[in-house]
Structure 1
Amino acid sequence: MNVKCGDEGSTRIVFDGICGRDWTSWNAMISGYFENWECSERLRLFFSMRECCFEQDLMTMTSVISACKVVGNGRLARAVHGYVAKMGYGDDDSVDNSLIQMYTRFGSCGEA
């Protein structure tokens, strides 16, 4: 609700207070930042998710790829692509489509 109203600060306070975070809470927060074009925060949250040794899912990865596209960091985008391949998410159509969109955004049609 707070994210829909553009209040990421209150949402983050609630999120930070959750002891037993699960995929739903992580992805809700990441997608909340997406809805409000907070791509840098979305990426920071993804890296926090990794530091907490919490495994990502397809929704997480498509959100992170989209954030790389918007932020415009080609180096980070390639690193995320490598992570996607390493973790075995490359067989999913939604992840592949996100990667194609990301690379075409950077003008890297060969990589797309």
Structure 2
Amino acid sequence: QRSTVACESKCFKWQQLLNNSGSFSMMTIRGCYDRMFDMMNPSTAPIPDHNFCTVGEVQLSCLSDASVIEHSCWCEGDYCNAYILEGSSPIQPPEGFIKNQPITHDVVNVPLRVL
């Protein structure tokens, strides 16, 4: 509970996983989208109307057997951004998660979990 944050807008999480021949390095950024980014800046992407997550993977040409996996999620609801990547495949996603499809939650207070 000590890492709980109540967001007035959507919670946002960006995660990047470097898969270097089976050795993984992860970076995660999470928080309230409107607190993380300047919403008055025209280059800032607007907050989406619905909750959704995306996952993509790109092979790296500079390293053999290496790829970068990126995951982004805009959501509302308790622990909605707790979905994390493990290895090259995702672990158990939140209920209702379908890749690139809306997640439906009605709660606005978003506890943020520290990994």
State TM-score, norm by structure 2: 0.23
Of Structure 1 and Structure 2, the greater strand share is in 2
TM-score w.r.t. the length of structure 1 is 0.24
| Structure possessing the higher relative contact order (Cα contacts under 8 Å, 6 or more residues apart) | 2
